[in-house]
A and B are shown apart, each in its own frame.
Chain A
Amino acid sequence: MKVLRTPNMERCIGCYSCSLACARNVYKSLSWKRAGIQIRSSGGISTGFEARICLACDPAACAEACPTEALRQRPGGGVFFKEKRCINCAECSRACPVGAIYFDPVKETPVLCLHCGRCVSYCPHECLEMVDTAKENK
């Protein structure tokens, strides 16, 4: 399966088009926070930008931490999320080693990258890419 990678973040101009696309198309929101890909400057704009996304762990610490299997391992890396199984405990968010799960304080559910790739076409500088993990390390 393909996963979202960010191979060219050096090119990022900080427009947030990817974040806004994820919020709009996946999380049906207008938001910087309700987005599976979050763009941050690391110490001000002069230092460039980083993308905070799910790194497609396998095994995924968040899925292991989830007590109700709302998050389950996705073949090839990352997780599937079933909202109706979620008991809003936020264990996943705490377990993620790279801080890539935003726990929405209003809906009390995790916001994370589902590796759907809907953000990719909105990046004006090809910072983002969908990659087949099976081929990635060959």
Chain B
Amino acid sequence: MTSKFKVMVVDLGNNKSSLKYFDTRREWIGGSGLAAGLFSHFGLPGEDAFHPDQPLILAIGPLTGYFPLMSKTILGFMSPYNNQYAESHGGGRSALALKFAGYDALIVRGKAEKPTCIGLGSREVHIQDVHFLKGMDIFKTGKKMRNLKPTNPGHRSILRIGPAGENLVRYACVNVDTYRHFGRMGSGAVMGAKNLKGIILSGDSHVDLDPDISKEYNKVYKDIYTTVVQSGAMRKYHDLGTPENILPLNELQALPWRNMQSTYDENAGGVSGEKFGQDQLLRQVACAGCPVGCIHIGLLRERFGEEHEYLYRQVSYDYEPIFGMGTMLGVDTAPGVLTLLEDVEKTGLDAISAGVALAWATEALQKNVITREHTLTDLEFGNIQAYREALNHLTRQSNEFYRALAQGTLEAAKKYGGEDFACVLGQEMAGYATGENYFVSQALGFRHSHLDTGAYGLDQEQDSRDIDKAIKYMQDQEDYRVLMCSMAGCLFARKAYPKENILRALNSLGYDYTLEELDACVEKIKHHRWALKFRTGFKPEDVKIPSRFKEITTWKGKTDPEYMDRLKSKYQEVLREMASTHEKRQGENQ
């Protein structure tokens, strides 16, 4: 409980690294809390996201590697999408690799002169010139990076960006181990701005288990592991995976289609989890340390010659990417979705934002808000070839229109018109047209993510248009999620990790929190995160919910704009209060 956070700081400006220690383990806990703490220390709140010295922070938690599904890494950074402090969470092998490399966090500062790759192990730091990877796609880059240091095959994590990140598309992602991502809010562009093409984390070391805690730790481990694999609590994530939500949400009239011109389509069966499972699923894989295996890999067979000549691609799919590259673009076949997902993966774009951006562009073209001279291709819902070309233009920013679109859908809409039908809630929407609570939650949420409060769940309850109930729901959910993300655990593991189990796990490792102490720490972390977001320019009043969200129909009928406005006003107050609580506490402590 007394050990300090061990943080490696790599400065690409002078090619030097330094170890830093922070005696704040009890307060910051880890993951989200650690990232926020480190951003407070290293971040430049008043500067642009692309300022060379803005830190890129990778942080893991106290349970990482010790317990199943504690498999996430929290990336804290200034988002180039909105110039505010942001978090993005990724899995793969990244968390265990960082843990077994012996660090609680890695921070990258400075800007390299040439494309560079950082290699980090327990006894090595390499800052490697990789100018030969410039412009290379995600898959080729991954393959080439396997030849770089540290060499530790199978026990490394390989993070990299594609051309979208290099070209500073504001919603470029960071790819982790081919099939996972730090997907949202543009961390890929931050790496691009640093000339940081990739990071290799080598899990080459170990932690000796304290014999005094082994007995209790092993018992708690076994209990949680058994819950995960035998209770069925997580079966759905392995079985059809998150795409099992396609049909139910479509039936609820809550699945956005064609730039959310509709919330239902009779062809949803063509991109359902069942369809993918039956026709495309090649296999499932897992993040390191997770026995669930929720990563679904689809097989895409492609004829490339007149004779029977085929190649095959392995493309990961999930609910959100199917929404982004499928329903939102009117693509209603599974191979069609995988074709676009393969392209979006290669280039390193966030599949959700890219899909929503192109969906808006398609409608804007339909409505003559823009012309083909802008889009350079005949964008049309369902036209896969046109979207393949558009993804390329977006990545390359082929003209002024795509340069604007690469800043974000709303940025382009402000310039060309069509704000009313830009499906943007803080950032491009995630695939839940469930109703007012969700729209407000994503618009104002800390990560502008469906995972901030899970308010799409509340929308599906009866009597969900209740301000007090909604605020309480969002607050309770956020409390738990900040706790889980401070463990750097996977949010799919919620059923295996009720708060009591998290406390048991922490206690078994010697972290002697009481429930009340843990709650108090999480509360402070939550406030701290909000303070950082406000400090870096968040003005909830300025976040607009475009008209499209007020016009749609779900199974509950028409959206209620008046309720949505009242909820947004109230939630703004709550968020301001949380941020100011932190600032007051800081003031008192100084």
Partner-B contacts on A (CB < 8 A): 13-17, 20, 23-25, 28-34, 38-41, 43-46, 106, 122, 124-125
Contact = CB atoms under 8 A, between A and B. Distances in A.
Contacts of A39: 154
Contacts of A28: 208-209, 211, 214
A124 B143 contact: no
A30 B178 contact: no
B534 interface: no
Contact of A40 (B100, B153, B314): B153
B293 A15 contact: yes
B293 A13 contact: yes
Interface string B73-106: 0000000000000000000000010011000000
14 contacts: A17-B291, A20-B65, A20-B289, A24-B221, A28-B211, A31-B100, A33-B155, A33-B206, A39-B154, A44-B146, A45-B177, A45-B178, A46-B297, A122-B225
Nearest to A38: B154
B186 interface: no
Contacts of A33: 100, 155, 203-206
B interface residue count range (under 10 / 10 to 19 / 20 to 34 / 35 or more): 35 or more
Contacts of A44: 142-143, 146, 178
Contacts, number: 92
Interface stretch (B280-288, B460-468, B553-561): B280-288
B311 interface: no
B218 A23 contact: no
Nearest to B64: A30
B218 to A, nearest CB: 7
A122 B291 contact: yes
Identify which of B66, B179, B211, B288 gathers the most chain A CB atoms within 10 Å of its CB: B288
A69 B214 CA distance: 30
Contacts of A16: 96, 288-289
B229 interface: yes
B218 A25 contact: yes
Contacts of B229: 124
Contacts of B293: 13, 15, 124-125
A24 B287 CA distance: 19
B165 interface: no
A59 B222 CA distance: 36
A5 to B, nearest CB: 20
A32 B93 CA distance: 11
Nearest to A18: B291
A41 B154 contact: yes
Contacts of B154: 32, 38-41
B293 to A, nearest CB: 4
A13 B285 CA distance: 4
A17 B68 contact: yes
Contacts of B484: none
A25 B217 CA distance: 11
A46 B206 contact: no
Contacts of A30: 65-66, 99-100, 206-207, 209
Given A13-B293, A32-B288, A125-B293, 13 more contacts: A15-B286, A15-B291, A24-B209, A28-B208, A28-B211, A28-B214, A30-B99, A30-B206, A31-B206, A32-B100, A33-B155, A39-B154, A45-B177
Contacts of B177: 45
Interface in B132-181: 142-143, 146, 153-155, 177-179
A29 B285 CA distance: 25
Given A28-B211, A33-B206, A122-B291, A13 B178 contact: no
B502 interface: no
Interface string B549-590: 000000000000000000000000000000000000000000
Contacts of B291: 13, 15, 17, 122, 124
B394 interface: no
Nearest to B66: A30
Interface string B373-391: 0000000000000000000
B193 to A, nearest CB: 27
B127 interface: no
Contact of A46 (B65, B286, B314): B314
B178 A14 contact: no
Contacts of B283: 13
Contacts of B100: 30-33
B361 interface: no
Identify which of B96, B100, B206, B283 gathers the most chain A CB atoms within 10 Å of its CB: B206
B545 interface: no
